[in-house]
């Protein structure tokens, strides 16, 4: 029986010492368990994705030194094969580097493979830095089993829709017993099911079992959920590692089947997995934990308006960092409702979060006098509304600067889409937690937070009050926007389209088709599409947001600012 160690770890881009120490410690752990092979993930030495750091010679030199350290450490475990991901120089024509998989044993590289399929869609831009590997199989005999290797995207083209090359074919021709795939696959809604279905079909098609090892953790906008798995040609997915946490598991392999290390049957994973709200909660919580930790922040600060967006942001921040590390500030103005303060107080009491009050009425009045004195025109309308948001944003940044807390912006995807936010006001911040959640999803996740806690965390009044920016008398979001349950369907259809899960796309498509049957519906849809286009300049200047969906704002949706369309 072949003994496999699955090392699903949380790496940081550029932390060569930390990444190297984690890899070596798990090599030791695998060797102590008498494993034949320890499998790590894609670009684990440098972290995924390093971007243009790959053009920095010092960065590349550190990667080489880290590899040398790992190879030296492997001499302490001479019978163990360690499969790792790193950067290698290209000796031929093309880009200077390869995205490489190395199999290391007793201080030597015993197999080397270069990723053939380099994604350039969505959030990926690997062809910017890497040259594809040759269309050949890389294999290695270990304990009487012939192993074949691939890297992440190499396994996503078995239906041959996106690339001319299908690396599965070379591995099948090489008659391998097992494919080992190392990955850095970020998660989004539906991604787990997509992975399982894709690789189950490929395993059945080629009659080959496959071990898929993924990394875990947050890196900038991306979150990697781990969820490493094993799949066979006849039983589909037979093993899955933990989701959203590091994991180390031992598997047996014989006769094209995976077993527990003692040879007993594995417990088949639940095909359904997490509910969408629970997945979303865990994705955001892990994303914030790692973003704050990697950027050196221990505390966060949030402007508390008494509304649903700031309430959910505060609740998620508490889950990620603890109540003692979350600060809320309420900043009432002349147009703030009584509930904007009282609901903030109740929320923070429920969460044991420190709440400060910093009224802005006098500041707004002072600005208004100064504006009229300087420009001989009263401050009114949208200018006055935006001023309030910008004063609040300035106060929050003052707190951030003074006390070293990371400011979390509170905009949701619906508002960010149509520009229902103030540049240099409520868009201020270092990170957005709910910027990839539509407004209807904000409500759903808020209700889930309460339900999971078994008590009222987010006050009922916050869940039921009509959404309002409270920047003008009796203002409601629906004064200038369709109801959110309608707006969100338009936005999903326009922004994500067929990238949506099938049932979501069908619902959005049906809604839009109904709209298009009437002149009023056509005008409403056209207006919303125009608002999305006109507000690209705001999104370009907004803080990064934690990605939850297949197409999030940021690197996942690259649109021109100056365009006529």
More confident residue, 191 or 474: 191
Q: From 227, 262, 297, give the residue that closes a domain.
A: 262
Report the pLDDT value the prediction gives residue 173, as an integer from 0 to 100. 96
304 labelled binding-site residue? yes
Cβ atoms within 10 A of the Cβ of 293, count?
A: 16
Report the pLDDT value the prediction gives residue 337, as an integer from 0 to 100. 76
Report the pLDDT value the prediction gives residue 302, as an integer from 0 to 100. 98
Do 237 and 341 have their domain in common? no
Report the pLDDT value the prediction gives residue 565, as an integer from 0 to 100. 67
**H/E segment holding residue 106:** none
Residue-wise pLDDT for 234-260, tens only, equals 999 999 999 999 999 999 999 999 999
In CATH, what number is assigned to the domain containing residue 29? 3.60.110.10
More confident residue, 35 or 466: 35
- Region 525-536: mean pLDDT is 94
Report how far residue 344's alpha carbon sits from residue 357's, in angstroms, rounded to the nearest whole number.
10
Residue-wise pLDDT for 362-388, tens only, equals 999 999 999 999 999 999 889 988 999
Q: Where in the sequence numbering do the catalytic residues fall?
A: 42, 115, 152
Do 109 and 247 have their domain in common? yes
Q: pLDDT-based confidence at 65, cuts 50/70/90?
A: very high
415 labelled binding-site residue? yes
133 labelled binding-site residue? no
Q: From 439, 454, 476, give the residue that closes a domain.
A: 476
Do 73 and 182 have their domain in common? yes
In a domain, 94, yes or no: yes
Q: pLDDT-based confidence at 471, cuts 50/70/90?
A: low
Residue-wise pLDDT for 275-312, tens only, equals 999 999 999 999 999 999 999 999 999 999 989 999 99
Q: From 230, 262, 294, give the residue that closes a domain.
A: 262
303 labelled binding-site residue? yes
Report how far residue 29's alpha carbon sits from residue 9's, in angstroms, rounded to the nearest whole number.
13
- Region 222-231: mean pLDDT is 98
Report the pLDDT value the prediction gives residue 107, as an integer from 0 to 100. 97
Residue-wise pLDDT for 385-409, tens only, equals 899 999 999 999 999 999 999 999 9
Q: Tokens at residue 212, please?
A: 């898929």
In a domain, 271, yes or no: no
Q: pTM for this structure?
A: 0.94
- Please give the mean pLDDT across all residues of the chain: 94
Do 141 and 249 have their domain in common? yes
Do 154 and 232 have their domain in common? yes
Q: Is the pLDDT of residue 468 over 80?
A: no
Q: Quick check: 406 and 395 in contact, CB under 8 A?
A: no
Q: Is the pLDDT of residue 345 over 90?
A: yes
Count of structural domains, the chain: 2
What one-character DSSP code corresponds to residue 52? G
The CA–CA distances, whole Å, from 174 to 33, 110, 519 equal 30, 17, 61
Do 258 and 286 have their domain in common? no
Domain span at residue 19 reads 2-262
């Amino acid at each position: 029986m072949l003994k496999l160690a699955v090392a699903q770890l949380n790496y940081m881009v550029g932390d060569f010492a930390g990444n190297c120490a984690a890899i070596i410690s798990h090599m030791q752990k695998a060797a102590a368990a008498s494993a034949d092979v320890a499998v790590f993930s894609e670009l684990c030495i440098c972290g995924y994705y390093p971007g243009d750091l790959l053009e920095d010679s010092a960065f590349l030199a550190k990667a080489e030194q880290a590899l040398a350290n790992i190879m030296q450490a492997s001499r302490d475990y001479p019978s163990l094969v360690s499969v790792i991901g790193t950067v290698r120089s290209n000796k031929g024509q093309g880009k200077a580097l390869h995205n490489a998989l190395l199999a290391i044993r007793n201080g030597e590289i015993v197999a080397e493979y270069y990723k053939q399929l380099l994604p350039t869609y969505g959030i990926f831009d690997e062809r910017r830095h890497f040259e594809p590997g040759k269309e050949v199989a890389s294999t290695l005999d270990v304990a009487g089993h012939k192993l074949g290797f691939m890297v992440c995207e190499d396994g996503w083209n078995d239906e041959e829709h996106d690339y001319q090359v299908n690396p599965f074919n070379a591995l099948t021709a090489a008659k391998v017993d097992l494919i080992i795939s190392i990955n850095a696959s970020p998660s989004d809604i539906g991604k787990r099911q997509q992975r399982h279905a894709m690789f189950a079909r490929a395993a059945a098609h080629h009659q080959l079992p496959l071990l898929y090892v993924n990394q875990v953790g947050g890196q900038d906008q991306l979150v990697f959920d781990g969820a490493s798995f094993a799949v066979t040609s006849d039983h589909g997915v037979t093993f899955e590692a933990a989701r959203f946490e590091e994991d180390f598991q031992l598997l047996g392999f014989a006769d094209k089947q995976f077993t527990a290390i003692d040879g007993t049957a594995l417990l088949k994973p639940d095909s359904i997995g997490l509910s969408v709200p629970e997945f979303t909660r865990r994705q955001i919580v892990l994303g914030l934990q790692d973003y704050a930790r990697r950027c050196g922040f221990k505390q966060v600060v949030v402007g508390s308006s008494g509304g649903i967006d700031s309430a959910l942001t505060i609740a998620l921040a508490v889950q990620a960092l603890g109540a003692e590390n979350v600060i809320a500030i309420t900043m009432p103005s002349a147009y703030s409702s009584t509930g904007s303060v009282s609901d903030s107080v109740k929320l923070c009491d429920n969460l044991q979060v420190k709440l400060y009050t910093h009224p802005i009425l006098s500041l707004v009045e002072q600005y208004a006098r100064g504006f009229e004195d300087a420009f001989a025109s009263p401050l009114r309308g949208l200018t006055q509304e935006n001023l309030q948001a910008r004063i609040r944003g300035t106060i929050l940044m003052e707190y951030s600067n003074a006390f070293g807390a990371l400011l979390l912006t509170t905009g949701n995807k619906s508002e960010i889409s149509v520009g229902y936010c103030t540049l240099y006001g409520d868009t201020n911040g270092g990170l957005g937690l709910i910027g990839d959640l539509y407004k209807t999803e904000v409500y759903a996740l808020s209700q889930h937070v309460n339900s999971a806690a078994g008590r009222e965390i987010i006050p009922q009044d916050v869940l039921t009050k009509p959404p309002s920016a409270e920047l003008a008398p009796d203002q409601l979001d629906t004064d200038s926007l369709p109801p959110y349950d309608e707006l969100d369907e338009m936005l999903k259809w326009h922004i994500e389209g067929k990238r949506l899960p099938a049932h979501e796309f069908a619902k959005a498509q049906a809604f839009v088709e109904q709209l298009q049957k009437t002149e009023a519906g056509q005008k409403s849809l056209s207006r919303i599409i125009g608002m999305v286009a006109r507000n690209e300049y705001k999104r370009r200047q907004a803080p990064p947001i934690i990605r939850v969906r297949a197409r999030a704002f940021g690197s996942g949706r690259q649109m021109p600012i100056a365009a006529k369309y």
